[in-house]
Structure 1
């Protein structure tokens, strides 16, 4: 992918339109997944900082490496800080797959061998989205943290997801060169899947056109840019009813951004959905899938995301 020498800037419009480098403390509510480390299999140990990278490695390498993703299931991996024991396992890994773009701030505070770190967004570093207007907050089991710096949900741009998958492939070949042919085959099938999602997103985006959209959380920057969506983000959590000030700000925003759909990270509360409907706004879910889903896998989640958009913006509606 050619680098265009431009660092994009997205400004917050409703509340904050950001997601970036974080500093936070480890959740006390969920145990970390610590089953790996140098295992008895004798296979190369590959650790990932988020689920998409873990999924890419699993799809490419199949059973030829041990892929480990250690974040607890109910935290945002971007905001998670592992225990000293888990960090020690990362230190012993043959590869550590990084998302780049400031993702997983704990990496900068840990002592890890540079030769084993793989920045999967290095190929498109000049195309990352810079963030302005930082806000400090907390949600769910994650500790208080600040959204500032660089947007990092890169894999929601399927062209970037493909580039990251190729970076994973290159790294896997370095640690298991005898399996390059198998890895290349796995990468090829994965690329076809990602390309199929990309094409469907482009198709539905062409139907959406310039219609204003609302996004419940500032994690969709790369999706918005890649597919040319007219989106603005609030800073709402699906499991929390927004306060009166947030409803007031939303009503004010609708004066200049008359959206009739809000895109959520997860299923919102019924009472939130009802109040939005009273304002003429329908809801749909598009999961970023940063953590391992409770059922299915990354591809299945992305396919359901696309289907949700296709149902909302069906051909018959235009």
Structure 2
């Protein structure tokens, strides 16, 4: 649709003609200059919201390819041009620094930061200690909060994801008023489905043998907090960070103390550390998907299907009744 248009500098047009620049699989053939409301989303959870709320009126392009770890994204010249030609950018500030920078440098009129539509919190690698134990942060000479910033993984909490959806819907209504009624209707339908998912998790996890689960990295802090669970992550917020020997020993002791049965890993990053810990501690392994992208390895074709698969995996690992 493009409510407003701006000229692309000649140097940029020339750069786009270079053979070295190829479209990623998530790029739309017509990501801008269409007769629809053109939205560039940073990665899958944002693209899913845009598609569900925009419906037939929106043309949605994701900057992150399916199967690509979103934290590692670097913005190409082609993608910068897509941002310039879009009607709106939907992103989650703090998750992908390259996206934050690129969006900030564009003159795009509608910039929707999902982080500003809900409250972000601090979540570390672990959630509790046992009697007689002391935290390791002070031993290392710095606090846990100094090791990480605000946790960006809000989409894994259906309640917070619904809050973001409502904010995105209002932004779409304002940016494309001709289709405001449809955006409002689509947003309401999505929020209703998310409320149903929230009920599924609440009912499915309230009666379980254990409340502690191990994950590859600390992506499930919001989900754990919402449903009265404790996430113990091998690594921190960054999925590529390596755990210390002290952290691995701590988790081995934790598994015995809390009756942990399973170490969860994910599809987009290496499972080596998770499987090593599981082998050494005589635990099982399974997938708990942080839904940063949908691939052929995902246990479902969209957000809701994968979240239901996550619920099933958690119920099994926690001994839910």
Give the alignment's TM-score, normalised by structure 2: 0.72
Higher relative contact order (CA 8 A, sep 6+): 1
How far the C-alpha of 1:72 sits from its partner, in A, is: 2.0
How far the C-alpha of 1:113 sits from its partner, in A, is: 3.0
Q: 1:290 aligns with which of 292, 297, 302?
A: 292
Distance in 2 (CA, whole Å) between partners of 1:275 and 1:106 is 32
Name the residue aligned to 1:276.
278
The range that moved more, 292-301 or 252-261, is 252-261
Relative to 1, partners in 2 of residues 1:78 and 1:243: Cα closer, same or farther, differing over 3 Å?
A: closer
Please give the root-mean-square deviation of Cα atoms over the aligned residues, in Å.
3.6
Give the alignment's TM-score, normalised by structure 1: 0.72
Relative to 1, partners in 2 of residues 1:88 and 1:31: Cα closer, same or farther, differing over 3 Å?
A: closer
The answer on 1:103 being equivalent to 2:100 is no
* 3-state SS of paired residue (2:148): strand
Name the residue aligned to 1:226.
226
Distance in 1 (CA, whole Å) between partners of 2:76 and 2:199 is 40
Written as runs of structure 1 = structure 2, the 5 A alignment for 1:115-264 is 115-125=109-119, 127-129=120-122, 148-208=148-208, 211-235=211-235, 248=249, 250-254=251-255, 258-264=259-265
How far the C-alpha of 1:273 sits from its partner, in A, is: 5.1
Written as runs of structure 1 = structure 2, the 5 A alignment for 1:15-94 is 32=24, 33-36=26-29, 39=32, 41-94=34-87
The answer (yes or no) to whether the contact 1:78–1:103 under 8 Å persists in 2 is yes
Q: 2:313 aligns with which of 289, 308, 315?
A: 308
* 3-state SS of paired residue (1:68): strand
How far the C-alpha of 1:277 sits from its partner, in A, is: 6.1
* 3-state SS of paired residue (1:149): coil
Structure 2 alignment gaps of length 5 or more: 1-19, 126-136, 138-146
The answer (yes or no) to whether the contact 1:201–1:306 under 8 Å persists in 2 is yes
Distance in 2 (CA, whole Å) between partners of 1:275 and 1:231 is 16
* 3-state SS of paired residue (1:150): coil
Relative to 1, partners in 2 of residues 1:217 and 1:270: Cα closer, same or farther, differing over 3 Å?
A: closer
Name the residue aligned to 2:140.
none
How far the C-alpha of 1:46 sits from its partner, in A, is: 0.4
- Report Cα offsets for 1:168-205 as digits up to 9, x if no partner: 21121123212222222222221122111111111233
The answer (yes or no) to whether the contact 1:263–1:285 under 8 Å persists in 2 is yes
Structure 1 alignment gaps of length 5 or more: 1-27, 134-146
Relative to 1, partners in 2 of residues 1:119 and 1:271: Cα closer, same or farther, differing over 3 Å?
A: closer
- Report Cα offsets for 1:74-121 as digits up to 9, x if no partner: 322233111122112112211101223x12111343212374211123
* 3-state SS of paired residue (2:204): helix
How many residue pairs match? The answer is 273
Which of structures 1 and 2 has the bigger CA Rg?
A: 2
- Report Cα offsets for 1:111-161 as digits up to 9, x if no partner: 123742111231323x4226697xxxxxxxxxxxxx732211111111110
Distance in 2 (CA, whole Å) between partners of 1:38 and 1:263 is 36
How far the C-alpha of 1:233 sits from its partner, in A, is: 0.6
Higher strand share: 1
The answer (yes or no) to whether the contact 1:36–1:89 under 8 Å persists in 2 is no
